[in-house]
Amino acid sequence: MDEQRQVRNVRSFARVALVAVAMFGFGYLLVPLYDVFCEITGLNGKTGRVAEAAVEASYEADTSRMVTVQFVANNNLGMPWGVQPEVASMEVHPGQVYATSFRASNPTAHHTVGQAVPSVAPTVASRFFNKTECFCFDRQPLEAGESKDMPVRFVVSPSLPRHVKTVTLAYTFFDVSDQAVN
């Protein structure tokens, strides 16, 4: 009887260990899988980053149509900066490169580093919204009391579905000062 119990215990342990290893492997692969999934589907507002020369060579401006692009800035909890877009919205022709900027101010008495995470709504538009230059590609340091303009250059693809008349580009700003390399 003791021998059978021991065999069952060893089998149970092996199964639990196998499940634990499989869970660890799944957790390890989840981030790259999520990134691939978002890039394929355009979910989570992931937008493309393209070279402006490639845009000018591959896109022809569709002057027969206008799309409204709205700009929004939000701070994550604990982010002390004041951030606002230069303009609330602009009318753009798909296929043409446009520029705007966001103004960030650090009202604190100490150096902080911020990182912006973009999202695009509606989700279907994220595959057709490409940034050629964006402050969101890098962390942004601001000294105490400093303010600066952060540029964004973008193009809406002429392939954007015709039923999409308004696209919203929103940035959420995070304080990453504790993660910044000094």
Q: What would the mean pLDDT of 60-86 be, rounded to a whole number?
A: 94
Q: Mean per-residue pLDDT for 69-89? A: 95
**DSSP classification of residue 108:** S
Task: Give residue-wise pLDDT tens across range 133-143.
Answer: 889 888 999 99
Under CATH, what is the fold of the domain 45-179? Ctag/Cox11 (Pfam 04442) (2.60.370)
Residues linked to residue 90 through DSSP beta bridges, in sequence order: 69
How buried is residue 18: exposed, middle or buried, by Cβ count under 10 Å (0-12/13-18/19+)? exposed
Number of residues in the chain = 182
Q: 98-128, pLDDT tens digit by residue?
A: 999 999 999 999 999 999 999 999 989 988 9
Stated pTM of the model: 0.70
